Structure 1
Amino acid sequence: MSAKRQPPLYSNPAPVTAGRHNNMRLLPAYSFGYAREVASLPLTAVEFQTASRCYPIVFTPQAPLSPVCIVGIKDSGNLFIDKAGQWRPGAYVPAYIRRFPFLLMSDPESKRMVLGIEESSGRLSEERGDRLFENRQPTPFLNEALTFCADFNRQWEDSLTMLRAFQDAGILVEDDREIELGETQSLKLGGFLVVDEQRLSEVSEGVFLAWREKGWLAPLYAHLASRQNWPDLAQAARMAG
């Protein structure tokens, strides 16, 4: 049996329990170096409008059809993290990054969704940082992490529902981008889906109004607007060398 595939950035998550983590603390996020190697990150629909100012937003066709923001070009890694591990000033930091090293995960024993933590994170400490438990009870800090992760999961499921509706309406098409890396070097990126404006214009009024009622039009148009960020991403890749 193959090992379970973990979400991006996670390699060894475990349910947070007093028995396992009673003495653990979490240091502040001084560095985003743990996300240096990724070229895309999951993004929820409620983030599209803010994220569209910084990143191209596309949809991965692999099941489940999912929204991501592009932060790098293949082998470039994350172009928004500098050598010191700092996120580019002024650029939006996705919620997926901000929840790390926490996540909601299925408890192997109870089969319920519980708060988990990436145990390989360098932010875990027994000496400094915010305590996870006091007298074996969750601290307000840990409860806030649980709330954040629960909100993220709910927004993620809502985003997947939105994309399934777009796919059912036939407005998603395959796309690719030719990225100029130099005078004689270019790179073709593909394997993702985008909204086709012509097909969008052919959607029935009833469907369009239903999407408006669900609040899906704002993220839809933010996705379209995010195309303006491809040239900036290519420029960052050229500068990174």
Structure 2
Amino acid sequence: MATAPANNLPLFYGDLVPLSSVDHVDFHARPLAEAKFLVGQHAIPLTADEFTSACRFFPIIFSAGDNPVPLALMGLNEGVNIFVDNEGKLLNPVYVPAYIRRYPFLLARLRPDSDELSLCFDPTSGAVGKFDEGDALFIDGQPSEQTAAVLDFCRNFEEAGQRTGMFVDELKKADLLMDGEVAIQPDGSDKPFVYRGFQMIDENKLRELRGDVLRKLMQNGTLPLIYAHLLSLQLMRDIFAEQVKAGKVPAMTDAPVA
């Protein structure tokens, strides 16, 4: 059975195997009762298409470095996710990022010398296998409607990822990203908890943009996404408060977010 390269596996994935009508003709996909892969995962990749939905639930930040990626924070500290219990079940109704909904499938490039993407799955997920229950992935040797729907979802996700890359490029061209810092002073504490290690929009630079640059950001849809990001940052204190309730605040006062 062919296996995709195991190095540099994406978040959540323990392995990647190309879906095959020969090797997996009798495989089914079943929903997982719980998402244990989410336990302890505090930052989830987010596409720009999701900003308006996600900003009501999660702080949206950008990873540090020269190639920033938008992230939805499900906790402010590594190893903390306040939206799921210890079994990976959602504690409250919440928007679920597409990166999570895509799992255990994804489109992957199997050979570095080819741009062709193949539909793969994580065989360690427990969601795909020789089960009696679930949706058949192949019928009479051909991809089922379920497989076609999964493929469409993964293709849409890849396209959203490309749009996200263009969105981030616009931010970099306008020099709008800066190193982020959030200080939260809890009641009864002498020192604030200071969170760094991420990027955010520089509101001062945003206000000082030339009219033609601002017009371009409005016309190409970048400006609404910027404001969704900025509004979502107010949720950091709410996330921190939930961590306090759950007893999941670290002893240190200077911590990287992402």
Partner SS for 1:105? strand
Greater helix share, structure number: 1
Partner SS for 2:92? coil
The alignment's TM-score, normalised by the length of structure 1, stands at 0.92
The Cα offsets for residues 111-138 of structure 1, whole Å up to 9 and x where unpaired, read as 3111111111011231221111112211
Matched-pair contact (CA < 8 Å) for 1:59–1:67: yes
Q: 1:21 to 1:188 in 2, by over 3 A?
A: farther
The Cα offsets for residues 71-126 of structure 1, whole Å up to 9 and x where unpaired, read as 11224422111234222322111111111111111023883111111111011231
Q: 1:13 to 1:122 in 2, by over 3 A?
A: same
- 1:83 pairs with one of 83, 86, 89: 86
Name 1:69's counterpart in structure 2.
72
Task: Quote the Cα distance in structure 2 between the aligned partners of 1:109 and 1:134.
Answer: 31
Q: Structure 1, unaligned stretches of length 5 or more?
A: none
Task: Quote the Cα distance in structure 2 between the aligned partners of 1:204 and 1:192.
Answer: 26
Alignment of 1:81-230 (within 5 A): 81-108=84-111, 111=114, 112-127=116-131, 128-179=133-184, 183-184=188-189, 187-230=193-236
Partner SS for 1:18? coil
1:220, CA displacement in angstroms?
1.1
Task: Quote the Cα distance in structure 2 between the aligned partners of 1:17 and 1:183.
Answer: 58
Equivalences, count: 240
Percentage of identical aligned residues? 29
Name 2:21's counterpart in structure 1.
18
Q: 1:82 to 1:203 in 2, by over 3 A?
A: same
Matched-pair contact (CA < 8 Å) for 2:39–2:86: no
Give me the CA root mean square deviation. Answer: 2.1
Task: Quote the Cα distance in structure 1 between the aligned partners of 2:113 and 2:139.
Answer: 24
